[in-house]
Amino acid sequence: MERRNAEGYHDPTAYGGMRMAEQKAEKETVRMVYKNGRMELYIHEFFPCRLAVARKVFPLIRRFAKDEDKEKLKQFLRIKAREHSGKVKAFSEKAQFLTAKSEEWYFYRRKAREEQIIYNQCVKNLKLLEGRKE
């Protein structure tokens, strides 16, 4: 894709748009093909998902997705769980060394809680993907 348009003028907007469209074509997906249709979920955008959504989606994934898609999703969720677990630990340690109830302390405690929520979603998503009850 050229940075210039058909008339030869510099056109960064079109160039950026086409680059974004090209990147979207390469996104990792979980594909499910079933009797009445099909569904594709973008792994990086959709997961980890909330428990209410996960309870509906994971039985479909276990039943209709290919094994390599399931494995790809498992690997993604494991990596995300490790990543967010590390962030929880880092934010908690940072808050521990700050003055209690200071503005920074509240900030790092809040960030640790946010990361903990995402970590919990990853763990619950993994359990549901494997067919275990949470």
Nearest to 34 by CA among 63, 73, 54: 63
Look up residue 81 and give its two tokens: 């769980």
Residue 33: phi, psi to the nearest 5? -120, 125
Residue 22 has a pLDDT of 55
Q: What is the tens place of the pLDDT at every residue in 91-130? A: 999 999 999 999 999 999 999 999 999 999 999 999 999 9
Instruction: Please give the pLDDT value at position 95.
Output: 94
Cis-peptide into 59, omega within 30 deg: no
16 or 57, which is more confident? 57
Q: Tens of pLDDT along 21-63?
A: 655 546 899 999 999 999 999 999 999 999 999 999 999 999 9
The span from the CA of 17 to the CA of 67, in Å, is: 34
Burial tier of 103 (Cβ tally within 10 Å: 0-12, 13-18, 19+): exposed
pTM: 0.77
User: What is the enclosing helix (H) or strand (E) of 78?
Assistant: helix 67-96
* Alpha carbon distance 51, 7 (integer Å): 52
What does the radius of gyration of the chain's CA atoms come to, in whole angstroms?
A: 20
The contacts found for 58-63 with CB under 8 angstroms, 24 or more apart, are: 58/125, 58/128, 58/129, 60/32, 60/34, 61/30, 61/32, 61/129, 62/129, 62/131, 63/32, 63/34
Q: Which of 18, 20, 28 is nearest to 80 (CA)?
A: 28
